[in-house]
């Protein structure tokens, strides 16, 4: 039964007032989200702040000043909700944790100066580095990974490389500034550099090979020197410093000294929020990007460039298929429909537009009426694109209806993901009975759940927190830090708290499965159009 725990308002107020509540904050692609929970995982309050990446000189980035503006804004939104609901301002928490989009490249020098604009996961600009490192390591290094960005900078003789003192991810950067600790959860670290699952640390053989590779350049650092220290879930990762408390809460109400758990990536928080950390469990996070993760029972037979091998927050290997392009094109179309409504005299809130339009997809033709969207706002490594051009194509006899347009936009957001999943299931024989979903794709009733089941031909279930899984998942990891039973494993801890909040699986509808297959085949056949668009539309 899919249900969220409930506490009385008075009990919730006492938990917050006594400093026993637990805070998780996640930096997503379009929103920074905060989740405040009770020790038993009951949601108490939430907050958010909208932000967006920008394309500057060919690089997808966020201004780091916006990181702190957004963090303070998100926290202020949370505390305002707490004040409105409970009549108090929180001053302390039992624990807290921060997560963010994985991968990318944030580098500072010894004085703490940023050496180059933050390069996010969305950049597909490291093709040469990936090819060389994948061969060197006999391990597929995706373009998003931090080590790929570092080595590409080396190959291009970028002058900042010799001055690097610290290389980290967005979550690692935020945690460092809040605590002074240069650490990273093993799940997020596994998107920087390969992890040896036997040691739970960076793979020493590969690290030595990299140092040997770049030794002729005589940099003043070794790779381990500039990377964060790797920590498993449940490890102590420092405490909120006075300066960190001021960054988070400029009003000055928040006290320093709060313990922090290891910072994690959004893949890890997704696994936690969906209770998918045991071998042979799987989940899919669908929002601005879309990625599916299956916890592996054994190592893959060989490297696949379509598949990231990362880890759970407690260090188990995971096969991840990651698509850069999820809901951004849908968001653009929904905005256009909102503009049309406004031109006709109706000012429709964005939430109402999604609530009204998204379910129309279930009324469309099974294959979306022979329409086709290719939603590449950025490059898409799963299909071999370093840049993207969003396209909408139809034939003269396509069934051009609103229902089919919405269905096409939702279908196309899952097609690149399906390319990666086919590698795991068809080439590697990986099997999973059920996929648990979370993220904005699943917010509007059963629409997203049903279409995801069609795209994966697998039963899909949703936790009660499907729309806000990441921040809640980070709060759960913070709760694991201060658990009473210290010998309790992460899977057993999650079972004890949230097993009852997982929904009943929705099995794929054969009509939807056949319709997606037809759409997917059309999508693959028409990628040549996308290639020509990239060449022609500069």
The tens digit of pLDDT for each residue in 81-118 reads: 999 999 999 999 999 999 999 999 999 999 999 999 99
Residue 463 in contact with residue 469, Cβ under 8 Å? yes
Kindly report the average pLDDT of the chain as a whole number.
94
Mean pLDDT of 270-274: 90
Query: How many C-beta atoms lie closer than 10 Å to residue 99's C-beta?
Result: 38
Task: Please tell me whether the overall predicted TM-score, pTM, comes out greater than 0.95 for this model.
Answer: no
At 1 the pLDDT is 37
Lowest mean pLDDT among 209-218, 258-267, 308-317, 434-443: 434-443
Query: How many C-beta atoms lie closer than 10 Å to residue 205's C-beta?
Result: 12
CB-count exposure of residue 198 (10 Å: 0-12, 13-18, 19+): exposed
At 289 the pLDDT is 86
At 470 the pLDDT is 87
CATH class of 328-462+508-536: alpha beta
Mean pLDDT of 213-225: 98
At 468 the pLDDT is 55
Domain boundaries, the chain: 328-462+508-536
| Residues 283-295 pLDDT 10s | 998 888 898 999 9
At 372 the pLDDT is 98
At 501 the pLDDT is 77
| Residues 29-56 pLDDT 10s | 889 999 999 999 999 999 999 999 999 9
| Residues 379-420 pLDDT 10s | 998 999 989 999 999 999 999 999 999 999 999 999 999 999
Q: Which of 283, 470, 267, 290 is nearest to 376 (CA)?
A: 290
Separation between Cα atoms, residue 158 and residue 152, nearest integer Å: 9
At 465 the pLDDT is 60
Separation between Cα atoms, residue 403 and residue 451, nearest integer Å: 14
Query: How many C-beta atoms lie closer than 10 Å to residue 220's C-beta?
Result: 10
At 281 the pLDDT is 86
SS3 476: helix
| Residues 472-492 pLDDT 10s | 999 999 999 999 999 999 999
Separation between Cα atoms, residue 538 and residue 529, nearest integer Å: 15
Lowest mean pLDDT among 104-113, 160-169, 466-475: 466-475
Q: Which of 245, 219, 156 is nearest to 148 (CA)?
A: 156
Q: Which of 458, 352, 444, 377 is nearest to 407 (CA)?
A: 444
| Residues 125-151 pLDDT 10s | 999 999 999 999 999 999 999 999 999
Mean pLDDT of 208-214: 98
Mean pLDDT of 217-236: 97
Mean pLDDT of 425-430: 91
At 2 the pLDDT is 44
pLDDT band per the 50, 70, 90 thresholds, residue 21: very high
The answer, yes or no, to whether residue 466 has pLDDT greater than 60, is no
| Residues 428-444 pLDDT 10s | 998 888 899 887 888 88
The answer, yes or no, to whether residue 10 has pLDDT greater than 80, is yes
CA 29 vs CA 282, 286, 409: distances in Å? 22, 11, 19
SS3 232: coil
Separation between Cα atoms, residue 122 and residue 62, nearest integer Å: 11
| Exposed e or buried b per residue across 445-466, where buried means at least 16 C-beta atoms within 10 angstroms of its C-beta | eebbbbbbbbbbbbbbbbbbbb
The answer, yes or no, to whether residue 467 has pLDDT greater than 70, is no
SS (H, E, C) 319-356: EEEEECCCCHHHHHHHHHHHHHHHHCCCCCCHHHHHHH
Task: At 268, give phi and psi (nearest 5°).
Answer: -65, -40
CA 27 vs CA 161, 196, 525: distances in Å? 26, 27, 36
């Amino acid at each position: 039964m899919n249900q969220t725990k409930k506490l009385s308002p008075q009990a919730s107020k006492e938990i917050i007032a006594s400093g026993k509540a637990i805070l998780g904050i996640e930096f997503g692609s379009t929103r920074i989200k905060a989740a405040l929970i009770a020790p038993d995982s009951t949601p108490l309050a939430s907050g958010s702040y909208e932000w967006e990446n920008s394309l500057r000189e060919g690089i997808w980035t966020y201004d780091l000043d916006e990181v702190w503006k957004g963090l303070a804004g998100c926290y202020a939104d949370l505390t305002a909700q707490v004040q409105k609901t409970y009549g108090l301002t929180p001053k302390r928490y039992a624990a807290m944790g921060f997560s963010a989009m994985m991968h990318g490249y944030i580098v500072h020098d010894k004085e703490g100066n940023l050496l180059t604009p933050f390069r996010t996961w969305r950049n597909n600009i490291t093709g040469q580095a990936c090819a060389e490192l994948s061969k060197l390591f006999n391990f597929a290094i995706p373009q998003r990974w931090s080590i790929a960005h570092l080595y590409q900078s080396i190959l291009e003789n970028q002058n900042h490389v010799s001055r690097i003192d610290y290389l980290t991810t967005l979550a690692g950067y935020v945690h460092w500034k809040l605590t002074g600790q240069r650490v990273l959860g093993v799940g997020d670290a596994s998107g920087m550099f390969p992890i040896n699952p036997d040691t739970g640390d960076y793979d020493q053989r590969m690290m030595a090979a990299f140092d040997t590779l770049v030794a002729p350049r005589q940099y003043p650092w070794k790779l381990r020197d500039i990377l964060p220290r790797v920590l498993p879930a449940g490890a102590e990762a420092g405490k909120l410093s006075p300066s960190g408390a001021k960054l988070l809460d400029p009003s000055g109400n928040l006290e320093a000294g709060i313990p922090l758990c290891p910072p994690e990536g959004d893949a890890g928080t997704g696994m936690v929020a969906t209770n998918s950390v045991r071998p042979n469990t799987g989940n899919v996070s669908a929002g601005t990007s879309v990625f599916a993760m299956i916890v592996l029972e054994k190592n893959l037979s060989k490297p696949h460039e379509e598949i990231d091998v990362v880890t759970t927050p407690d260090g188990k290997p995971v096969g991840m298929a990651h698509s850069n392009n999820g809901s951004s094109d849908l968001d653009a179309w929904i905005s256009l429909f909102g503009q049309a409504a406004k031109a006709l005299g109706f000012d429709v809130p964005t939430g109402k537009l999604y609530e009204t339009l998204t379910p129309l997809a279930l009324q469309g033709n099974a294959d979306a009426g022979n329409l086709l969207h290719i939603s590449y706002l950025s490059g898409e490594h799963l299909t071999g694109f370093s840049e993207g051009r969003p396209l909408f194509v139809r034939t003269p006899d396509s069934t051009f209806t609103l229902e089919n347009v919405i269905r096409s936009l939702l279908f196309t957001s899952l097609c690149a993901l399906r390319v990666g999943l086919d590698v795991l299931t068809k080439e590697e024989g990986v099997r999973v009975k059920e996929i648990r979903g979370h993220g904005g794709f699943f917010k509007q009733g059963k629409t997203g759940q049903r279409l995801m089941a069609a795209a994966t031909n697998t039963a899909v279930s949703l936790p009660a927190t499907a729309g806000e899984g990441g921040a809640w998942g980070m709060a759960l990891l913070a709760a694991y830090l201060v658990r009473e039973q210290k010998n309790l494993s992460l899977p057993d801890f999650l079972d004890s708290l949230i097993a009852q909040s997982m929904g009943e699986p929705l099995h794929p509808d054969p009509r939807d499965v056949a319709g997606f297959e037809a759409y997917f085949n059309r999508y693959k056949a028409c990628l040549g159009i996308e290639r020509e668009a990239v060449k022609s539309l500069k």
